[in-house]
Amino acid sequence: MEQKPTRRRVMLIYTGGTIGMMKNTQTGALEPLDFENLQHHVPELGELDYELHVHQFRPPIDSANISPAHWARLADIISENHDKEDGFVILHGTDTMAYTASALSFMLEGLDKPVVLTGSQLPIGVLRTDGKENLIGAIELAAAQDPTDGGPMAREVCVYFGSTLLRGNRSTKASAERFDAFRSYNLPPLATVGINVDWNRRDLLRRGPKATFAPRTKLDNSVIAITLFPGIRPAIVEHVLGMPDVRGIVLRTYGSGNAPQQPWLLSAIEGATQGGKVVVNVTQCDAGAVEMGLYATGNQLLRAGVVSGGDMTVECAVTKLMFLLGQGLTVDQVRKLMTTPLAGEVSL
């Protein structure tokens, strides 16, 4: 007798976000609702030929309230179910989705299954919602099999939004309004969904044969991001760079990694790097990379001990720093790993 193929198993982790929110009739504000409510608005879920398992955060949260403790919880849920499920979908608010995706990409070391984050701009109960397509598309992508070996198509943390699948740690929320709210400026989409799914095989992460799944949930949030701007006050920058609690600084510089040639700024940065803090240079531009050797205004930072963030997003640099500082490494090891791709987050 012919055996019925087993159905793909996808775990849906519902953390909250607009996708499952509804208007409070008294205050007019959107408030998160339970997963049952969300499911009620997507009867199509019942038509999918997958085995869906749901894990829900109680209460669901607006993603503005997400914290490293929630990331650790997500990593734990995924690691407990990694071998049982074929893929994972995380329903998440859009506001901090790129931070969560970046953090998880480092925490889920050796991941061998797709973890697809999605959400929506309009609640799922609203007529023109983008939530249905995003949710159904994310589930299909999380269940997608590589026809060559039957294994998962994606083995990494991704963001699916507005018909494109992006590498999670390359994604950024670029619009508070549009349905295609996320962008990955420095890496093409991993898949584009139209009538068919067009996979970008060239850029999908492939696991090394020796890689083992070893999730790490410890992060150190002694990190700050500073955006440079003309007229920034020396006393404020000196204070932040000198704070003993700060171990890592993401410096958001101009263009290809340039900063004003001001002696006070250089000596504040030198003081920080010599004191064992890790200062990482990322650009304020959406696209492109830091190249500190290009101009004198960037070269001075290199000499002051600043490490290049290359073409990392700020969300990625902040969470990568938190991750590396949490691993009990030496300062030199953290500096070295900041410039080494760990999960496809930076181009060499």
Going from the C-alpha of 124 to that of each of 36, 67, 209, 295, the distances in angstroms are 12, 25, 41, 49
DSSP 8-state secondary structure symbol assigned to residue 298: H
| Least distance between ligand ASP and beta carbon 181 (Å) | 8
Instruction: Using the minimum distance from each CB to ligand ASP, give the nearer residue, 93 or 152.
Output: 93
| Least distance between ligand ASP and beta carbon 318 (Å) | 17
Q: Which residue from 228, 227, 213 is spatially nearest to 262, judged by alpha carbons?
A: 228
**Active-site residue identified among 18, 118, 129, 273:** 18
Concerning whether 164 is annotated as a catalytic residue, the answer is no
Q: Which of residues 52-81 bind ligand ASP (CB under 6 A)?
A: 62-64
Q: Which of residues 82-111 bind ligand ASP (CB under 6 A)?
A: 93-95
238 scored as a contact of ligand ASP (CB under 6 A): no
* Residue of 8, 17, 153, 316 that binds ligand ASP (CB under 6 A): 17
Binding mask 114-133 for ligand ASP (x = CB under 6 A): -----x-x------------
Instruction: Using the minimum distance from each CB to ligand ASP, give the nearer residue, 96 or 300.
Output: 96
CA angle at residue 89 from 85 to 93, to 5 degrees? Answer: 155
Work out the end-to-end distance of the chain between its first and last CA atoms, rounded to an integer number of angstroms: 53
Using DSSP, state whether 8 is helix, strand or coil. strand
Instruction: Using the minimum distance from each CB to ligand ASP, give the nearer residue, 62 or 238.
Output: 62
- Cβ burial of 43 (10 Å; 0-12, 13-18, 19+) is exposed
152 scored as a contact of ligand ASP (CB under 6 A): no
Contact of 191 with 164, CB cutoff 8 Å? yes
Give the number of residues in contact with ligand ASP, rule: CB under 6 A: 10
d(CA 41, CA 265): 54
| Least distance between ligand ASP and beta carbon 30 (Å) | 8
| Least distance between ligand ASP and beta carbon 192 (Å) | 22
| Least distance between ligand ASP and beta carbon 51 (Å) | 27
| Least distance between ligand ASP and beta carbon 69 (Å) | 17
Q: Which residue from 149, 147, 186, 152 is spatially nearest to 169, judged by alpha carbons?
A: 186
Residue 90 identity (one-letter amino acid):
I
What would the two tokens of residue 37 be? Answer: 């409510």
Instruction: Using the minimum distance from each CB to ligand ASP, give the nearer residue, 1 or 176.
Output: 176
18 scored as a contact of ligand ASP (CB under 6 A): yes
Going by C-beta distance under 8 Å and a sequence separation of 6 or more, which residues neighbour residue 13? 54, 55, 56, 57, 74, 77, 78, 88, 89, 90, 91
Catalytic residues: 18
Contact footprint for ligand ASP (CB under 6 A): 17-18, 62-64, 93-95, 119, 121
